[in-house]
Structure 1
Amino acid sequence: MMRKFIHLSTNTLLLVVLVIFSSCDKNDNFTPFFSVEDDKALGAQVSQEIANDPSFDLIAQSDNPEAYTYINNMVNEILSSNEVAYRDEFAWEVTLVNDDNVLNAFATPGGYIYVYTGLIKYLETADALAGVLGHEIAHADLRHTSRNLQKQYGVSLLLSIALGQDPSALEQVAGQIAGTVAGLQFSRDFEAESDDESVLYLADTQYACNGAAFFFESLLSQNQTTPPEFLSTHPSPENRVADINATATEAGCDTALATDTGYDAFKALL
């Protein structure tokens, strides 16, 4: 019996591997080349890079266990939503960053979430914080960073990481992400996706499902027409508020503020 051997060019092989990897994503959107396991490995590496970077004043859980109990409970409630595709796969580890002058929060691949004390103290309600957390969880869950990496680095480098052929590449990419992550910027489309998802996540919680809009409403009420640096590429606050509220109306979810949240006591811990 004669056996036939199929010889694939390098480009064809890359395409075949890309299709195999791309078929595994749970979200109904553009699928990144990175696998979910690659997301997790990259996120863990970025988290380690941040932990080793003295410019990040990280608050250890052992130094403020009550504050961590509060914010972890909030995150866990958001993650209970069936809309979170990778709620059981990603780490979903929250770290508080001690800097009262920074209004920021960000998430790395694999669900590592960082929240600055300045943002927490700026937000007036637990619903607003839940909205921001929902938004950041969505960035990780929708794998926005991985989708950006595919555009930035192309298939070849990501393939070498995915196949374990270049161990230094993972560390290199992680280091670059860690160096810019505090000012991480996404496209308007990615921001709109995360805003919409935050509404759906919060619809299953005690918090107002349009909580993400409250941050932008605070900016507007204080005449801060220019968002903080990490929002510099986002649509205007006015448009964000309108779009988030429209999504909440379409979803028919509760926009009433949560009661007895203990948010002021939480802020006092920081």
Structure 2
Amino acid sequence: MRMINILKSVAVLFLLIGISSCDKNNDLVLFGIQNDIELGAQVDAQIESDTSFTILSRTAYPEAYAYLEDMKESILNSGEVSYKDEFAWELHIIHDDVLNAFATPGGYIYIYTGLIKYLENADDLAGVLGHEIAHSDQRHSSKQLQRQYGIQLLLNIALGKDASQLAQVAGQIAGQGALLKFGRDAETEADEFSVRYLAKTDYACNGAASFFQKLEEQGQGSDGPAFLSTHPPSDTRVEEINAKADELGCSTTAVSESGFTYEDFKNSLP
């Protein structure tokens, strides 16, 4: 009996090793890429069906979504997004007068109209969008889920033993109105990757810095938008974003827009 138990333990160990994966930054993540995709899709479906979220439709606001899509494509085509071809990279605008944005595993990005109208120019939004793309692309969400829910629950989900557990996790995430609260390291990394992404676009690569600078000037650096509640202080983030831009030697000149501008984008929203 003892030998059988030992063999079972060894089998479980090899099973864990087999289904665990290193992301492209060599961090160990229990979830595989397909699990990210499936979880993100479930969260998206949950949010779509939740009447507490007013998601603007693409047919009613085609110009607004086209503007966002162009910005997203510029970032994805930077050559710096690891899972560009694997993840959905689907954008949603939520009509709510709050300063918020969040991302799920698998590349679903949600941006609130309150945040869009608070930002002053396209570079600001590109900086925030790059930050949220980084959360998905660097798999911060999956790593946080692994810490929050534990290996056993995620193992069951990864093995497909109980689909309701995946739905439950997705429902809890969607019900919070924001995915997960990340620690300082994840937020700092997302800021850095935002600079890396934008460095290969026409947007100012330190676009996120001006956003945090505005928060600081208005006294919202530590008690501002919900999605900043566990982030590093705004003044520190401004310094670190600008330092990264200096390190990369990328352009911090504001993007030159013609035709449908950021102001037009904001005015097109309810």
TM-score, normalising length: structure 1: 0.93
Report the counterpart of residue 161 of structure 2 in structure 1.
165
Q: Does 1:236 align with 2:233?
A: yes
- One-letter amino acid of the structure 2 residue matched with residue 109 of structure 1: P
Q: Does 1:142 align with 2:138?
A: yes
Q: Check the 8 A contact 2:21/2:30 in 1, yes or no.
A: no
- One-letter amino acid of the structure 2 residue matched with residue 259 of structure 1: S
Pick from 33, 43, 50 the counterpart of residue 46 of structure 1: 43
C-alpha distance 220-37 of structure 1, shift in aligned 2 (>3 A): same
- One-letter amino acid of the structure 2 residue matched with residue 51 of structure 1: E
Report the counterpart of residue 15 of structure 1 in structure 2.
13
Structure 1 range deviating more: 240-249 or 228-237? 228-237
Report the counterpart of residue 197 of structure 1 in structure 2.
193
Distance 1:210 1:12 in 2: 49
Report the counterpart of residue 268 of structure 1 in structure 2.
267
Give unmatched runs, 5+ long, in structure 1: 1-5
Q: Check the 8 A contact 1:131/1:212 in 2, yes or no.
A: yes
Q: Check the 8 A contact 1:199/1:248 in 2, yes or no.
A: yes
Q: Does 1:78 align with 2:75?
A: yes
* Count of matched residue positions in the alignment of Structure 1 and Structure 2: 264
Pick from 99, 102, 121 the counterpart of residue 98 of structure 2: 102
Residue 25 of structure 1, CA deviation = 2.5
Structure 1 range deviating more: 176-185 or 73-82? 176-185
Once the two structures are superposed, what CA deviation does each residue of 1:106-140 show, in whole Å capped at 9, x if it has no partner?
Answer: 11110000000111111001000000000000000
Distance 2:92 2:139 in 1: 19
Q: Does 1:130 align with 2:126?
A: yes
**Equivalent pairs: percent with the same residue?**
56
Residue 82 of structure 1, CA deviation = 1.6
Structure 1 range deviating more: 224-233 or 114-123? 224-233
- One-letter amino acid of the structure 1 residue matched with residue 18 of structure 2: I
C-alpha distance 121-162 of structure 1, shift in aligned 2 (>3 A): same
SS of the residue aligned with 1:63?
Answer: coil
Pick from 182, 185, 203 the counterpart of residue 181 of structure 2: 185
Report the counterpart of residue 33 of structure 1 in structure 2.
30
- One-letter amino acid of the structure 2 residue matched with residue 117 of structure 1: T
Q: Does 1:248 align with 2:245?
A: yes
Pick from 189, 203, 210 the counterpart of residue 206 of structure 2: 210
Q: Check the 8 A contact 2:43/2:104 in 1, yes or no.
A: yes
Residue 159 of structure 1, CA deviation = 1.4
Structure 1 range deviating more: 130-139 or 222-231? 222-231
Q: CA RMSD in A?
A: 1.8
Residue 179 of structure 1, CA deviation = 1.1
Give unmatched runs, 5+ long, in structure 2: none
Residue 221 of structure 1, CA deviation = 2.5
- One-letter amino acid of the structure 1 residue matched with residue 20 of structure 2: S
Distance 2:26 2:193 in 1: 13
Q: Check the 8 A contact 1:188/1:233 in 2, yes or no.
A: yes
Q: Check the 8 A contact 1:102/1:118 in 2, yes or no.
A: yes
SS of the residue aligned with 2:81?
Answer: coil
Distance 1:212 1:205 in 2: 14
Distance 1:9 1:169 in 2: 28
TM-score, normalising length: structure 2: 0.93
SS of the residue aligned with 2:29?
Answer: coil
Residue 183 of structure 1, CA deviation = 6.5
Report the counterpart of residue 257 of structure 1 in structure 2.
254
Structure 1 range deviating more: 111-120 or 254-263? 254-263
Distance 1:117 1:259 in 2: 23
Q: Does 1:61 align with 2:58?
A: yes
Q: Does 1:224 align with 2:223?
A: no
Distance 1:13 1:218 in 2: 54
Once the two structures are superposed, what CA deviation does each residue of 1:142-195 show, in whole Å capped at 9, x if it has no partner?
Answer: 111110111122221111111111111110111111111426311111000100
Distance 2:145 2:224 in 1: 25
